[in-house]
Structure 1
Amino acid sequence: MLRTLAQLRAARPTWPLVVVDDGTGSAFTDVFDAATALGAEVLTHARNRGKGVALKTGFEHVARTRPGMAVVCADADGQHAPRDIIAVADRLGADPLERRLVLGTRGLDGPIPLRSRLGNDLTRWLFTAATHLRLSDTQTGLRGIPPGLLSWATRVPGDRYDYELQMLLRAARAGIGLDTVPIDTIYLDHNSSSHFRPVVDSLRVYVPLVLFLASSLATFAVDTVALLLLEALTGDLLLSVVGARLTSAGINFAVNRRVVFDPRRRCRTGPALGRYAALAAVLLVLNYLTLRALTQVGLDLLPAKLLTELGLVSLSFAIQRRIVFAAPSQRAHKVMPPRQQVG
C-alpha cells in the first residue's frame, strides 16, 4: 500500500489520496502514520466493518469534503499498478458528466490462483445470466466513479465483499454504463495477503445473484405450469396464455419491485403498476403470436413456450430495469454537473 501511495504521489502530485483503515488496530499504527507522511488522509474504523463499508466511508468523505470530485478506488494489496490506476482516472476524467462507472478489467491470463480463477469464471457467468451484459472481470476492485454517482454508490447495499458485485448489478438495473479499461493481472505471492474467506464471503457474493435470477425463474415456472393446465382444461390457447400471464404477472410485479429492482421503494406503486401493466400487455400479445406461430408449424406447446420465453426475457428485463421500476431521476437520466476533477 505504501509503495502504491508513494508512486501515485510522484506521478500525480496534486491528487488527493484517501486511505481507509478498516479496523486493523494498534499493530499497524506505524503503517498508517507512514501513509499520512506521504500526504494521504487516513480514515479509521474502530473495528473491522467490511470492504463495502470502508468504500462507502471513503465515498462519503470525498463527497462531503470535496464536492464535485470523482473517485478512483484501488485495493491495498498491490494488485493494481499505479499506471493502471492513472489510466482509469484518465478515462473517467475524459467525460465526468457521463453516467457510467469505469472499471479496470484484468485479462485473467497467465498464472492465477485457482480460487480466483474459479471465482471470476463463476461470477462472470452468473452476472451475464442475471443482467444480459458481458463483463470480463466482475470482481475488479479498480473502479472510477464520477461525482454524480457517489451518492448512489453509498446507497448500494452490501457491507463486505458482496458490495462490489451489488454495485455492478444495481448499475445494470439503473441504466448506468460500465466502461472498461484493460489492466495488468497481478497476484502477489498467489494472493496470500487477501482476506477473502472462500466459503463465507462467496456466499455473500453469490446470494444476491441467485436472488436476482430466482424471480425470473419462479415466474417462468408459474407461467408455464398455469399455461399447460389451462390449455389442458380449456383447449383454448388464447385463453390459456392470458390466464397464465395474469397469474404470473402479479407474482412477478411484487417480487421484482420488492426484491430485484426497487427494494428501497423509490418509485410509486401506482405509476409503476401502470407501466408494468402496459409492458405485460405488449408481452402478452408477443407471447401469444409467437406461441401460435410455433405451434402451427408443428412444435409442441412446451418447447414452443421455452423458445418464446427465451426470446422475450431480455426485452422484459431491459424495460423493467430502465422504465417500469426506475426512479423518476433515473428515467430522466439527470446527473448533477460536477467539476472536472479526479481524486
Structure 2
Amino acid sequence: MKQFAIIIPAYKPGETCRKLIDDIIKANFQSIILIDDGSGKEFEPIFHAFSLIPQVTLLRHAVNQGKGRALKTAFHYILNNSLPHKAVITVDADGQHLVSDMVKVAKQMSRKTNAIVLGNRDFSEKGVPFRSFFGNRCTRLLFRLSTGTVLTDTQTGLRGIPTKHLPQLLGVTGERFEYEMNMLAALKPKNIPIEEVAIQTVYLGENKSSHFRPLRDSFHIYKVFLFYALSGAASFAIDIGLYALFIKLWREDAPELFIVIATIAARFLSALFNYYINRNKVFKQGSRNSFIRYYLLAASIMLISAGSVHFLYAEWLGRGEIVLKVIVDAILFIFGFIIQRAWVFRKE
C-alpha cells in the first residue's frame, strides 16, 4: 500500500480516530496525512500523540476552516513536497469508514488508474438515520439534474483520487462540506472518470459524531439551485409588474395589440434581468455567446410551455388549463436549470 496516502481531516476527534489510525497502519498503509482543522488547545495532547506515530504526518489549521479547506491543505502538502504517492484516499475521522473498504477502494484504483473511486453506501439498509437517508435522496436527485451524472452516494467521504488530478481539484470552489459536492460536479467537465465500489454503511450513535450542520451546510451544497429559484421568482415578479404597467400605458394607444406588445416587452426585460443575475450571481460564469444561448433557451421554453399546455388541454383533458400550466412550467423550470448550467453558462 506504499503508493497510497490516507488523508484524514479531523475536527475535535474522539477515541474512534485513534483506533482508525491503528487499523489503517495494521492494513499496511504506510502514509497517513492527518489535518487538525482548528480543534483548539483542548485537543493539542491528542494530536501531539498522533504526531509521534511514524506513519502520521500532522498538518494544522490555527482555526477551524472546514473540511474542504482541510482536504486542500493536504493536497497542497503532497504536491509542494513532490511526495511519491500515486493516489490518495480520503476518509472521515469518526470511524464510519472501515479499513476493509479503504482496501477495496485501493484495489479498484490499481485497476482503474485514471478514475476517481467513490465508496458508495446502501441507504436502504435498516438503521440508517433519517436525515442521512433523506439528504442522500435529495442530493442525488439535484446532482443528477444539474450535472447529468448518476451516482449512488454523492456525500461519501471515502474517495480514492489519483495524485495527477489534485492540481485540477485545488481549483474547485468550496471550503466546507460543499467542496466535496463541487468536486464531483467538476469531474465531468474535466473529463475525469468516476468509479464506484460498494462499502458498508456504518453509523455510530445515530451519526452524532458528525460535524455536518443540516441547515448551514445543506445551504452551501444546494445554494446554486436555491439562488436559481430566487432569481426565477424575482424575474417572475418583475415580469408581472412590467406587464401591468405596459397594459396601462398602451391600452389606449394600441387597443388591438396592447396585450401582445405588453407581454413581449415585459418578458424581454424580465429575461434580461434574469440573464444578468444568473450569469453574475448564480452560475458566475459564461461567455459572449451565453446571451444568445439564453434567449434561444427562453424562446424555446416559452414555445414548449404554450404547445404542451395547449396539447394537454385540447387533445387530452379538456379542462384544468391553470393546473396544467403550473405543472408544465415547474418541469420546464428544472429543465431550464440543467440547460443553463450545462450549456448557456458553461465555462468555455
1:21 is paired with a residue of what secondary structure?
Answer: strand
1:271 aligns with: 289
1:188 is paired with a residue of what secondary structure?
Answer: coil
Asked if the contact 2:97/2:202 (under 8 Å) is kept, the reply is yes
- Residue by residue over 1:122-180, the C-alpha shift from the partner in whole angstroms, topping out at 9 and shown as x without a partner, is 45325524652665544321123344542343333333334334444566888876643
Distance 1:237 1:288 in 2: 16
Distance 1:300 1:251 in 2: 31
2:329 aligns with: 309
Distance 1:192 1:311 in 2: 37
Asked if the contact 1:175/1:321 (under 8 Å) is kept, the reply is no
- Residue by residue over 1:162-208, the C-alpha shift from the partner in whole angstroms, topping out at 9 and shown as x without a partner, is 43344445668888766432211223344454444x4xx63233254
- How far 1:32 sits from its partner (Å)? 1.7
2:327 paired with 1:321: no
Asked if the contact 1:174/1:321 (under 8 Å) is kept, the reply is no
The one of 272, 277, 280 aligned to 2:298: 280
For 1:323, the aligned partner's letter is W
Distance 1:236 1:181 in 2: 61
- Residue by residue over 1:93-120, the C-alpha shift from the partner in whole angstroms, topping out at 9 and shown as x without a partner, is 433435xx433222232334xxx53244
For 2:340, the aligned partner's letter is Q
Q: Which runs of 5+ in 2 are unaligned?
A: 1-16, 248-255
Distance 1:303 1:323 in 2: 30
Q: Show the 5 A alignment for 1:34-183.
A: 34=52, 36-37=53-54, 39-64=55-80, 65-66=82-83, 69-98=86-115, 101-108=116-123, 109-112=125-128, 116-122=129-135, 124-125=137-138, 128-129=141-142, 131-132=144-145, 135-147=151-163, 149-168=165-184, 179-183=195-199
2:42 paired with 1:20: no
Which structure has more RCO (C-alpha within 8 Å, separation ≥ 6)?
A: 1
For 2:276, the aligned partner's letter is A
User: Structure 1 residues 287 and 206, CA, compared in 2 at 3 Å: closer, same or farther?
Assistant: same
- The total of aligned residue pairs comes to 313
1:41 is paired with a residue of what secondary structure?
Answer: strand
1:203 is paired with a residue of what secondary structure?
Answer: helix
User: Structure 1 residues 289 and 93, CA, compared in 2 at 3 Å: closer, same or farther?
Assistant: farther
Distance 1:90 1:203 in 2: 36
Distance 1:299 1:177 in 2: 48
The one of 292, 309, 312 aligned to 2:310: 292
TM-score, normalised via structure 2 length: 0.71
**Structure of higher CA gyration radius:** 2
1:213 aligns with: 226
More helix by share: 1
Distance 2:242 2:38 in 1: 58
Considering only aligned residues, what root-mean-square deviation do their CA atoms show, in Å?
Answer: 3.9
Of all paired residues, the percent bearing the same amino acid is 30
Q: Which runs of 5+ in 1 are unaligned?
A: 329-343
